[in-house]
Structure 1
Amino acid sequence: MKKKVCIIYNTSKKDAIKFYEVSKEFFENCGVGVQSEIEGSAFVVVIGGDGTLLQASKNIANHNKFVIAVNMGSLGFLTDIRRIEALQVYEDVLMGNYKLEERHMLEVEVRGETHLGLNEVVMAKGGILQKLIRIRVSGEHYINTYRADGLIVATPTGSTGYSLSVGGPIIRPNLDVLLITPIAPHNLSTRPIIIDGKEEITLKLEKKEGSAYVTIDGDDLVKVTKDDLIKIKYSDKKLKLVLPKSRNYYSVLREKLKWGDKIC
């Protein structure tokens, strides 16, 4: 049976559209069929930025496929294969010469529905004029009640996303931990905390609060009240990324965050 590859690309970026055509031609010349559906494919190629991969990650993980993530965006912590090396990576994958890195996915239960997330779950107040909210957080034991604009529960993959922008630490992706980062906490001594990834975290609004909003990877917006419990744990499903041979995680951090560069 003819091997097939699913290619997902950012249709709003000219560079991504052009490289999709280049990729399509490459695979077809290698006798590999190209399709837009993940089901029935041997693996997936994502061409775009981290946002493109985030949108596709749940579907890819649900189908248990690995992904070659080609960067056409700006930062590209997830899509860290450069366009100039992508065709060589394609060839290596077809020859079976590649390594995979598994990234944890979150399983989030809210209002009777289960959602998957790769980066983070955010519980936050509804707008800039709303008062601070109080969020009670429990794991194996009661952790804390945060009075803040909101709270982020992130995977190590998500530690370089929203959590980083509000003062959270960077965590190597292969570590089995969860990161809890408050957003603009009322108490300056309230700091991010890293906990065991085997724990299930429960978020709940304190009784005084009216409502808040929960988002998963910037999507799946759900309004919650004091009567709702948000349960967060690691899913059995994982996102499997093809690793670039030329770089490692620390070299990616140095490149993307401009460590050591003279920036002023």
Structure 2
Amino acid sequence: MKRIAFLSAGTPEAEAARIRLIHAYGNCDPALADVIVALGGDGLMLQTLHRFMDAQKPIYGMNRGSVGFLMNEYREDDLERRIEEAAPSIVHPLLMVATNIRGEVAEARAINEVSVLRQSYQAAKIKISIDGKERLAELVADGLLVATPAGSTAYNLSVDGPILPLDAPLMALTPISAFRPRRWRGALLPDTAHVTLEFLEPHKRPVAAVADHFEFKEVVKVEIAMDHATGLVILHDPGHSLDERILREQFGY
């Protein structure tokens, strides 16, 4: 029998579910648990993956939120068997290293995407280099993002970026409301690529860098690469794996 730790999003619905499940299955300290059961929506799943990123504990989510793209159907019966039979999906986060106008440096990881966004009424001007080679001297846009395959159906998809299969060795580089070059729609990059974004006129056109929930303002340079050394495990019921859900998104259902 696996040791289970139950976490909830704190909403009345999620908290009531946590209490019922603890009564049925017991509860373990998360530090000692074999598996974490997250009760909420996709926001809680991302928070839980970040919280246990270093421990790399498997996370089994059940939807007590709204969309629940990353979650399993909520059912209270036979939970131990469901966890035992669940299919693991391995997700590698992005590592962001950002420098601001004062020379301060911040590091953060992103499971979905790293995005850079204008902070004022003026569009950002961004120079893009891949593996040390300049590829675009000046992108004028509201912003830009780099998405993992797991994150390609999130913010990336909402700005018309491509959906990537979970096992694709790729990252999506997608502009946000590009003005110049007007017809540039982004690029698909190997997941070994090192992306460097430099911001032109940073005092006049301030930009913020965001890695999932972490924001760092007034940046002058952002470096992004996939952290292959960190593998996060998300568990899904058979037939409802993250690969299957991403494939369904490509066919619109």
- Does residue 70 of structure 2 align to residue 82 of structure 1? no
Given candidates 154, 159, 162, the residue that maps to 2:152 is 159
Match for residue 216 of structure 1? 211
Q: Name the CA shift for 1:92/1:165 in 2 (closer, same or farther; >3 Å).
A: closer
Give matches, 1:128-139, under 5 Å. Answer: 130-139=121-130
Flag the structure with more relative contact order, 1 or 2, with Cα contacts below 8 A and sequence separation at least 6: 2
Instruction: Indicate conservation of the 8 Å contact 2:2/2:35, yes or no.
Output: no
Deviation for aligned residue 1:243: 2.2
Deviation for aligned residue 1:210: 3.7
Give matches, 1:1-264, under 5 Å. Answer: 4-11=3-10, 13-28=11-26, 33-35=27-29, 38-79=30-71, 81-84=72-75, 87-93=77-83, 96-111=84-99, 112-127=105-120, 130-140=121-131, 141-144=133-136, 145-187=138-180, 188-207=182-201, 209-217=204-212, 219-226=213-220, 229-235=221-227, 236-249=229-242, 252=245, 259=252
Root-mean-square deviation (Å): 2.4
How many residues align? The count is 243
Unpaired runs of 5+ residues, structure 2, are 100-104
User: Which amino acid letter does the alignment assign opposite residue 212 of structure 1?
Assistant: V
Q: Distance in 2 between matches of 1:87 and 1:143?
A: 54
Identity of aligned residues (%): 21
Unpaired runs of 5+ residues, structure 1, are none
CA deviations over 1:80-116 (Å, ceiling 9, x no partner): x1003x64343343xx443311012111112333211
Q: Distance in 2 between matches of 1:153 and 1:87?
A: 39
CA deviations over 1:223-253 (Å, ceiling 9, x no partner): 1243xx2111111212201121132457535
Give the TM-score taking structure 1 as reference length. 0.83
The answer to which structure has the higher helix fraction is 1
Deviation for aligned residue 1:175: 1.5
